[in-house]
């Protein structure tokens, strides 16, 4: 009970009184962006920030505002367009979202935001949206970051979105995967409360959707349903995933990355250790393909020029040189009206 109260105290949901010059959200598309923005801190000394982001000659109001401008440049890039909902990872606090809307995104119709992080943590999960949420909640995860939930009521039915940021791969794999597994367990339980609705899980899962193929000795957070251990693992917390649209069910999630009929502009959304990874993911339930309401349209790894280095990998943020954007690329899910 105490952990839930702590999470709720760390959660903020506010309405931003920004002026508008944007068109209303489309009724033919519902677009969701997930983006790990890499340590976007504000310019205030709060005590929770990473030590290198305490106000200094290099990190100050000017450099903070520069990062906000850069994020706005990415989110409003023509290759992305206007989204209904943006889920951000590695945001310091709600003030960052408020400043982003007040000074930039509010002019594009992003009026609402929400934020959640564990008490004492340096970073959390944030959401900005052009549609007003019907309901917002936070789900505590033992030993990991909380999950942000938002429900949107649309003319084509409710859309339930869970925004997350799983434990990183830093440390012993068995220990970090156990934390990612606990996150999957919380997501599965929370999703059951929205039976009969379209549900989207999105964010930085910090694991590839096919990682289970090489993790035979550890129960994975995500398990392909073709695996012999799938049902056993799904019964104890793993999320069952597939790229086969006909096999998506109430407890089997669709992964666009596993769907061979999909093609992507980049071989991954994150580049680390000399290899591309698909850590930034969308998972959807069976209502993506029921022929009613919102249906799956596309999933895209986006690569605006500002987000790339000359070698085509993500242009990560560098605090020392005050250059770059993020070590992740944004990923966009588009739902279409049927």
Mean per-residue pLDDT, 109-117: 97
Q: Does residue 239 carry a pLDDT above 70?
A: yes
Return the domain boundaries, the chain: 2-337
Mean per-residue pLDDT, 261-274: 96
pLDDT of residue 138: 97
pLDDT of residue 172: 94
Q: Name the more confident of 86 and 214.
A: 86
Residues 133/85, Cβ–Cβ less than 8 Å:
no
Mean per-residue pLDDT, 179-202: 97
pLDDT of residue 338: 81
The CATH topology of domain 2-337 is: Deoxyribonuclease I; Chain A (3.60.10)
Q: Does residue 53 carry a pLDDT above 80?
A: yes
User: How far is 222 from 238, CA to CA, in rounded Å?
Assistant: 5
pLDDT of residue 12: 43
Backbone angles phi, psi at 143, to 5 degrees: 75, 10
On average, the pLDDT of the chain sits at 92
Give the predicted TM-score (pTM) of the model.
Answer: 0.94
Number of other CB atoms surrounding residue 170 within 10 Å: 7
Mean per-residue pLDDT, 187-204: 97
Beta bridge partners of residue 36, listed in sequence order? 89
| pLDDT-above-90 percentage for the chain | 89
Banded model confidence at residue 60, pLDDT cuts 50, 70, 90: very high
Lowest-confidence pick of 19-23, 48-52, 165-169: 19-23
pLDDT of residue 224: 97
User: How far is 101 from 86, CA to CA, in rounded Å?
Assistant: 12
Beta bridge partners of residue 335, listed in sequence order? 30, 296
DSSP state of 308: B
Residue 109's SS3 state is coil
Backbone angles phi, psi at 121, to 5 degrees: -80, 155
pLDDT of residue 141: 96
pLDDT of residue 10: 43
pLDDT of residue 24: 60
Q: Does residue 133 carry a pLDDT above 50?
A: yes
Q: Does residue 25 carry a pLDDT above 80?
A: no
First to last CA, the chain: 42
Mean per-residue pLDDT, 134-163: 96
| pLDDT-above-70 percentage for the chain | 92
Q: Which of 260, 224, 227, 257 is nearest to 242 (CA)?
A: 224
Mean per-residue pLDDT, 106-120: 96
pLDDT of residue 206: 98
Q: Which of 129, 268, 243, 248 is nearest to 199 (CA)?
A: 248
Mean per-residue pLDDT, 310-330: 98
pLDDT of residue 4: 30
pLDDT of residue 27: 86
Mean per-residue pLDDT, 22-39: 86
């Amino acid at each position: 009970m105490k952990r839930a109260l702590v999470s709720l105290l760390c959660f903020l949901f506010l309405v931003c009184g920004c002026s508008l010059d944007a068109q209303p959200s489309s009724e033919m598309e519902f677009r969701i962006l997930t983006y790990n923005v890499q340590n976007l801190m504000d310019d205030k000394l709060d005590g929770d920030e990473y030590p290198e982001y305490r106000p200094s000659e290099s990190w100050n109001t000017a450099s903070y505002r520069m990062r906000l401008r850069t994020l706005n440049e990415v989110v409003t890039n023509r290759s992305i367009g206007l989204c209904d909902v943006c889920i951000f990872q590695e945001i310091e606090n709600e003030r960052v979202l408020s400043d982003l809307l007040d000074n930039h995104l509010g002019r594009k119709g992003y009026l609402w935001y929400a934020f959640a992080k564990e008490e004492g943590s340096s970073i959390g999960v944030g959401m900005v949206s052009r549609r007003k949420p019907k309901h917002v909640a936070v789900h505590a995860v033992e030993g990991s970051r909380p999950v942000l939930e938002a429900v949107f009521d649309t003319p084509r039915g409710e859309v339930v979105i869970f925004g997350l940021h799983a434990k990183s791969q830093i440390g012993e794999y068995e220990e970090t995967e156990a934390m990612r597994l606990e996150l999957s367990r919380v997501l599965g339980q929370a999703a059951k409360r929205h039976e009969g609705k379209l549900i989207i899980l999105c964010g930085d899962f910090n694991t590839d959707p096919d990682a289970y193929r090489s993790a035979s000795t550890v129960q994975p957070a995500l398990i392909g349903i073709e695996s012999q251990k799938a049902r056993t693992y799904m019964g104890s917390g793993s999320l069952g995933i597939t790229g086969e649209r006909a096999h998506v069910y109430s407890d089997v999630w669709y992964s666009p990355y596993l769907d061979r009929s999909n093609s992507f502009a980049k071989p991954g959304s994150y580049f680390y250790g000399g290899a591309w990874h698909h850590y930034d993911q969308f998972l959807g339930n069976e209502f993506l393909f029921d022929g009613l309401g919102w249906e799956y349209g596309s999933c895209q790894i986006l690569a605006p020029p500002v987000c790339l280095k000359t070698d085509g990998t993500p242009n990560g943020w560098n605090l020392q040189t005050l250059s770059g954007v993020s070590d992740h690329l944004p990923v966009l899910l588009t739902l279409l009206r049927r």
